[in-house]
A and B are shown apart, each in its own frame.
Chain A
Amino acid sequence: MYSFDFERPTTVADAVAALSKEEAQALGGGQTLIPTLKQRLASPSVLVSLSAIEEIKGVCNDGGVLNIGGGTCHADVAAAAASDFPALAKLAGNIGDPAVRSRGTIGGSLANNDPSACYPSAALGTGATIVTNTREIAADDYFQGMFTTALEEGEIITAVKMPIPEKAAYIKFEQPASRFSLVGVFVTKGADGVRVAVTGASEDGVFRWTEAEVALNGNFDASALDGLSVSGDGMISDLHGSGDYRAHLVAVLTKRAVTEANG
């Protein structure tokens, strides 16, 4: 690792101030950033840990919207969402491993927007609102491609508001080595209709499979997806699977998610 100063503010205001310094970088749970720093692929002058900011931790159900502090670790989300939003609890409870879930945060995951991360599919699949220290961003506007988001320099995710859908399920098909999603599909049926969000598959990061959404809005049953497929073009192709394989999995996992959502 390169040398850097380490700061650990206890309020969002102090964190924002610390992040205004030249080459300052925010540290969420660090589960992606720290390995990156070890490889010397980042060289901040100051690393600003968000882990001591209590005001951005915790989960509450505000009238059918799960309000999750940006600094809430995956394990805490899994525990807090277990009764109100089990699909989200399942997603959070299967990210990485127990140690990753103790440290990694929802805000960190969404800020990083790894194309294989699980959380982006939940945010997009629920039509969540990303709340930062300066504004609120709709999930549909937030994700802008692999590792790219609407966040400005120094902007901190303080909360994520997820409308709790009537029905939901997340199915993750793991990449055998990293255990990230090779493909993950988050399906919801809520007041505003069906959403199908796909992670892991596309070179553009998380995306909505709108064709499936249309079909499922007509009939929220796996059979409604018969004959539907996504193209392998633009899908990630690597050691672990071709674009065509990922495209195939998108269809398979979406059906399974719908079946699971229907209980």
Chain B
Amino acid sequence: MAEVTMKVNGKTVTKSVKGNTLMVEFLREELRLTGTHVGCDTSQCGACTIHVNGKQVKACTMFAGEADGAEVSTIEGQAAPDGTLNAIQQAFQDHHGLQCGFCTPGMVMAAASLLKDNPKPTEAEVRHHLEGNICRCTGYHNIVKAIMAASGQDVSGIAAE
């Protein structure tokens, strides 16, 4: 067991963890932040996408020990304290960018990472950025549309508004 300390969604936490504790296990089991999901075991689905020191990572493919001293944000930290959705979350709701909701936290976190570096992405850039986030429900149409809308672009011309 080793002690790890990190700031998760603005709050400093210290826990004693086993060496093989994955970041996603740390979040879900130690902190009970269950919005970060596990959808595969080969690091491909992206349902566990979080940010560590501002970078998009898969919490299932990182050990808690590697985040010692880091700033971590998860889906639970995205809305305002009063519950107001952030621009990306709101765009997902406005444009029906989610169905079962399981991949959604990862999609929102991936989108946030994209828009931080590329505030006005093209459709192709959005699709390329989502290479590591699999959705089985939406066919991606409304996810891509929501992300483009969240970036302030006019999406009214996209089919099936």
Chain A interfacial positions (CB closer than 8 Å to B): 1-6, 8, 27, 30-31, 34-35, 37-39, 47, 49, 51, 75, 96-100, 102-103, 178-179
Contacts and interface: CB of A to CB of B under 8 A. Distances in A.
A37 B52 CA distance: 22
Nearest to B19: A6
A38 B42 CA distance: 9
A49 B20 CA distance: 12
B2 interface: yes
Contacts of B58: 99-100, 103
Interface string B17-53: 0111010000000000000000001111010010010
A3 B43 contact: no
A96 B57 CA distance: 12
B110 A3 contact: no
B102 interface: no
A102 B56 contact: yes
Instruction: Tell me if B's interface is mostly helix, strand, loop or mixed.
Output: mixed
Contacts of B2: 5-6
A6 B131 CA distance: 30
A98 B63 contact: no
Nearest to B58: A99
A99 B20 contact: no
- Interface residue tally on B, bucketed by range: 20 to 34
A38 B65 contact: no
Contacts of B56: 98-99, 102
Contacts of A102: 52, 55-57
Most buried by B among A97, A100, A103: A97
Given A34-B43, A39-B41, A97 B61 contact: no
Interface in B71-120: 110, 113-114
A4 B20 contact: yes
A185 B110 CA distance: 29
A35 to B, nearest CB: 5
B132 A35 contact: no
Interface in B131-149: 131-133
Nearest to A177: B44
Given A2-B20, A3-B19, A99 B46 contact: yes
10 contacts: A1-B20, A4-B19, A4-B20, A6-B65, A34-B61, A96-B131, A98-B110, A102-B52, A102-B56, A102-B57
A30 B62 contact: yes
Given A6-B20, A30-B61, A35-B41, A98 B114 contact: yes
